[in-house]
């Protein structure tokens, strides 16, 4: 099997499906998820991919994993005052200035800008995407 990930990578697709089961109650709070070895069969993915999908859910705070025991769904603290803050996983890339950005920075359209992107999640659901544009740093 090649490694095509045109749209979303497989671990994200798998993570979304597992999250759906948890939020819909198919996997009730506190219950154990199927073992990684079971999930590899079900999703026909390698264990590494399964583990990465679970890692997404764990960082989102809706599952917890114990060595030797398994991964179980977390009791949802919905409605409570506690709302988990976002995890800042920042990714950067170079982009070209669109007309709006060019006007703001007073540069030509197409000038290189640095874009920094973060995904804001609350309780595992994506709330917003923040993109910050700056002029590329000059000195170092």
Which one of 10, 60, 74, 97 is in contact with DNA (CB under 7 A)?
10
Question: DSSP readout, 46-112?
Answer: -HHHHHHHHHHHHHHTSEEEETTTEEEEPPP-TTSS--PPPP---EEEEEE--HHHHHHHT--TT-E
Which one of 25, 26, 83, 87 is in contact with a second copy (CB under 8 A)?
87
Shortest distance, CB of residue 102 to DNA, whole angstroms? 12
Report residue 99: phi and psi, to 5°.
Answer: -55, -40
Which one of 21, 36, 40, 76 is in contact with a second copy (CB under 8 A)?
76
Lookup: tokens for 115? 């874009």
Cβ density class 25-39: b for 16+ within 10 Å, e for less: eebeeeeebbebeeb
Q: Does 11 bind DNA (CB under 7 A)?
A: yes
Which one of 77, 84, 93, 131 is in contact with DNA (CB under 7 A)?
93
Query: Which spans of this chain sit near DNA (rule: CB under 7 A)?
Result: 1-6, 9-11, 33, 35-38, 44-49, 51-52, 65-71, 91, 93-94
Query: Which spans of this chain sit near a second copy (rule: CB under 8 A)?
Result: 7-8, 16, 28, 30-31, 58-59, 61, 64-67, 69, 72, 75-79, 81, 87-94, 100-101, 103-106, 116-119, 126-134, 137, 140
């Amino acid at each position: 099997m090649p490694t095509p990930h045109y749209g979303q990578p497989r671990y994200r697709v798998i993570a979304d499906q597992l999250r759906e089961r948890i939020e819909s109650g198919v996997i009730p709070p506190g219950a154990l998820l199927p073992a990684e070895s079971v999930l590899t069969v079900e999703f026909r993915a390698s264990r590494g991919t399964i583990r990465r999908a679970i890692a997404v859910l764990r960082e989102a705070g809706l599952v917890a994993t114990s060595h030797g025991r398994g991964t179980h769904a977390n009791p949802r603290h919905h409605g409570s005052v506690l709302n988990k803050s976002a995890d800042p996983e920042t990714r950067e890339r170079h982009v070209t200035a669109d007309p709006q950005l060019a006007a703001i920075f007073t540069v030509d359209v197409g000038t290189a800008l640095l874009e920094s992107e973060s995904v804001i999640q609350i309780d595992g659901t994506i709330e917003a995407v923040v993109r910050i544009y700056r002029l590329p740093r000059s000195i170092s």
